[in-house]
Amino acid sequence: MPSTTDLPLLCPVCREPLELLAAAPMGQSRLVCPSGHSYDAARQGYFNLLVGKGTAFESDTADMVQARSDFLEAGHFGPLAAAVAAAVVPCLPEERGAVLDAGTGTGHYLRAVLDAAAAQRRRRVAAVGLDISKFALRRAARLNPEAVNLVSDVWQPLPLADKSVDAITVIFAPRNAAEFARVLRPAGRLVVVTPRTGHLAGIAAVTGMLGIEEGKETRLAEAMGSHFDAETSTDVEIPLALTRQEAANLAFMGPAGHHLGRKDLSERLAGQPEPVQAQAHFRLTVFRSSKPAAFRPSKPAAT
């Protein structure tokens, strides 16, 4: 757990700044605001900032998180982690950079960013890992103890001050473009990873996992359109040769895990020869904030 947050966090109730009160020996750290709202660190080190009724969102289960962690920690998506880190680190100033990983999951990609930042002498990178699943954050808090890991809903106002981060990563997670635009510094970048059409098609056909619909990429650009402009787009292709167990983890850790049982997936894969071959297709897009409408050069009138 960080001894200081180095980041302007906001109370989800009153939007006043939160201060981190570090743990006394054997005690719990707490985030507190001037109005007295207080959020204790969980034993594993994350903070739960969900307030009110919580959210209607179906969060990842402990078993799905375990499958994700096992699969990612085996390094199968290493080239993607490297591509994310390569996109993010140049956005961080040499001193006191800040990064938000929205929908951080087990914190795997944030770990890659922080390691690459340290290797490139970015000093004092403050990091926030945000996710709605406390099961995911238990792992993320263990993997990224120097980050502030927050249970929070990306569709609510983010618990961060305006213009407080240099980079935001969103890897297979929901995107609240208006809030990302609010918390990103003017020179900052938003790095979004999405699966492309044909992603894991072989495994999808066997397991009944949902495929990636055509037009997803266009919809991403449209959804970000009023707040962000795409700067670069890179395709990352990863050939996979997996054991049946790994292929089952891969199917179970995604949206399929919400409606297909682990046992069903393993049964469907039982007849597959090993290694199970598959191809991961990702797109990594770097966005920067659009200029406010008032400052946009006006388009020449159509004649």
Ligand X SMILES: C[S@@+](CC[C@H](N)C(=O)[O-])C[C@H]1O[C@@H](n2cnc3c(N)ncnc32)[C@H](O)[C@@H]1O
Number of chain residues interacting with Zn ion (CB under 5 A): 6
Angle at 95 between CA 179 and CA 174, to 5 degrees: 25
Nearest to ligand X of 102, 272 (CB atom) = 102
What is the per-residue binding string for Zn ion in 20-39, x denoting contact by CB under 5 A?
A: -------------x-x-x--
What is the per-residue binding string for ligand X in 179-218, x denoting contact by CB under 6 A?
A: ----------------------------------------
Residue type, 303: T
Q: Which residues of 62-100 are buried (b: 16+ CB within 10 A; e: fewer)?
A: eebbbbbbbbbeeebbeebbebbbebbbebbeeeebbbb
Asked, as a colleague might, if the bond just before 8 is cis with ω within 30 of 0, I would say: no
Which residues inside 56-95 make contact with ligand X, applying CB under 6 A?
57, 59-60, 68, 72
Report d(CA 65, CA 46) in Å as an integer: 16
Name every residue whose Cβ is closer than 8 Å to that of residue 180 and which is 6 or more positions away in sequence: 102, 158, 168, 170, 190, 227, 228
Taking a C-beta distance cutoff of 8 angstroms, is the pair 68, 246 a contact?
no
Q: Which of 153, 166, 179, 246 binds ligand X (CB under 6 A)?
A: 153
> Does 161 contact Zn ion by CB under 5 A?
no
Q: Which does 111 bind (CB under 5 to 8 A by kind): Zn ion, ligand X, none?
A: none
Min dist CB 227 to Zn ion, Å, is 27
> Does 108 contact ligand X by CB under 6 A?
yes
Which residues inside 215-254 make contact with ligand X, applying CB under 6 A?
254
* Piece of 113-121, 165-173, 181-189, 197-205 that binds ligand X (CB under 6 A): 165-173
Residues present in the chain in total: 303
Where on the chain is the footprint of ligand X (CB under 6 A)? 57, 59-60, 68, 72, 103-106, 108-109, 131-133, 136, 153-155, 171-174, 254
